Amino acid sequence: MKDPAMSKPAVLVSRDLFPEVVARLRQHFEVDDNPADEVLAGEALRLRLQHRQGLLAAGGERISAELLAACPALRVVANMAVGYNNIDVPACTARGVLVTNTPDVLTETTADFGFALMMATARRMAEAERFLRAGLWTKWRYDLLTGSDVHGATLGILGMGRIGQAIARRGAAGFGMRVVYHNRSRLPPATEAALGAQWVGKAELLAQSDHLVLVLPYSAASHHAIGAAELAQMKPGATLTNIARGGIVDDAALAAALRAGRIAAAGLDVFEGEPAVHPELLALPNVVLTPHIASASLRTRRAMADLAADNLIAALTGGAPPTPVNAELLGPRG
Ligand code: DGY
């Protein structure tokens, strides 16, 4: 008979993942993986998780107090994302469930994408490609698909954490942009000087930005941080880029503002209720739409998976998880 003291902890890998990473997890755990890549939610997630000690989550699974109550064996949720708004962290902490995320490894890749999406939006790249593929390019015109300049423009950043700062560096150093930002906590003066970024109030940020990029975490406080009232304060020719989270922008209000020409264009990688996209956004020409892929370079996705696995292994084998969210559960770390 199997000696329970010798058995490996049981973990669930919620979605299909790099085989090498799953193989590494199998060295430490009994792994229930998901090569069919079914999206696990509600009852299906509860059934798969209920007797397991660990979860490697892809970032979209909702880890609620109710789910935690149904999974009393659970000790760690390793989220393969820097954001963790899918997880009720206070409820995890109350139950002694460690939460980890994957910061740092995705910063530069996500900033590259945010900048690219902002540029594609300003210069109407998706619209231009659709125009060409539709066979509509028959002659030169002086104002054919004219967009707005990125170089020398004012770049506004809402949320100035690691990714916001990496975008600021690209704008200031690479494109000679004036960079303004708004964040609850202001950066130290030396960091602002190094980035070439200036803190402004939210109203000033909205009024001054030619290109506004959203990089703030989602929370109840940031829900609809950009709605009809905020869009009304932006410059008529401005662009809005969201690589943060759906729900930070009121998508219906954004669609109305774009339709009315209130702002020039939007670049969106995240959506309220994704993977569903507001039908009015799908119908508008002046929106660049991408399916939540800002961190999706192969190297970075592998680094995120490796870090999530490192966290899971350390948490369940007595090591020090590298990137805990509710680190208070670990006690003082020497
Ligand atoms: C993150 O890491 O938070 C990205 O948005 C992927 O979910």
Q: How far apart are the first and last CA of the chain?
A: 40
Q: Whose CA is nearest to atom 2 of ligand 1?
A: 81
pTM value is 0.96
Based on the residue annotation, tell me whether 245 is a catalytic residue of this protein.
Answer: yes
Ligand 1 atom nearest residue 81's Cα: 2
pLDDT at 3: 59
Burial of 58: CB neighbours in 10 Å, binned 0-12, 13-18, 19+: buried
State how far the Cα of 101 lies from the Cα of 117, in Å rounded to an integer. 24
Taking a C-beta distance cutoff of 8 angstroms, is the pair 266, 121 a contact?
Answer: yes
pLDDT tens, N- to C-terminus, the chain (334 residues):
455 556 999 999 999 999 999 999 999 999 999 999 999 999 999 999 999 999 999 999 999 999 999 999 999 999 999 999 999 999 999 999 999 999 999 999 999 999 999 999 999 999 999 999 999 999 999 999 999 999 999 999 999 999 999 999 999 999 999 999 999 999 999 999 999 999 999 999 999 999 999 999 999 999 999 999 999 999 999 999 999 999 999 999 999 999 999 999 999 999 999 999 999 999 999 999 999 999 999 999 999 999 999 999 999 999 999 999 999 999 876 4
Does residue 103's CB lie within 6 angstroms of at least one atom of ligand 1?
no
259 is catalytic: no
CA of 307 to the centre of ligand 1 (A): 14
Tell me how crowded residue 198 is: count the other CB atoms within 10 A of its CB: 13
How far, in Å, from the CA of 53 to the mean position of ligand 1?
24
Asked if residue 275 has a cis previous peptide bond (ω within 30° of 0), the answer is yes
How far from 116 is each of 95, 119, 139, 272, 304, CA to CA, in Å?
A: 41, 5, 28, 22, 21
The pLDDT, as a whole number, for residue 334 is 45
Does the beta carbon of 83 lie inside 6 Å of ligand 1? yes
What separation in Å is there between the alpha carbon of 136 and the centre of ligand 1? 37
CA distance 133 to 41: 39
176 Rama class: left (phi>0) / alpha (psi -120 to 50) / beta: left
Q: CB of 106 closer than 6 A to ligand 1?
A: yes
Three-class DSSP labels, the chain: CCCHHHCCCEEEECCCCCHHHHHHHHCCCEEECCCCCCCCCHHHHHHHHCCCCEEEECCCCCECHHHHHHCCCCCEEEECCCCCCCECHHHHHHCCCEEECCCCCCHHHHHHHHHHHHHHHHCCHHHHHHHHHCCCCCCCCCCCCCCCCCCCCEEEEECCCHHHHHHHHHHHHHHCCEEEEECCCCCCHHHHHHHCEEECCHHHHHHHCCEEEECCCCCHHHCCCECHHHHHCCCCCCEEEECCCCCCECHHHHHHHHHCCCCCEEEECCCCCCCCCCHHHHHCCCEEECCCCCCCCHHHHHHHHHHHHHHHHHHHHCCCCCCECCHHHHCCCC
What spacing in Å lies between the alpha carbon of 150 and ligand 1's midpoint?
25
Considering only CA atoms, which residue is closest to atom 1 of ligand 1? Answer: 81
If you search the block for the tokens 């009994």, which residue do you land on?
A: 30
Q: Is the CB of 59 under 6 A from ligand 1?
A: yes
Q: What's the confidence (pLDDT) of residue 332?
A: 76
Q: Which two tokens stand for residue 70?
A: 């149904």
Q: What is the model's pLDDT at position 67?
A: 98
108 is catalytic: no
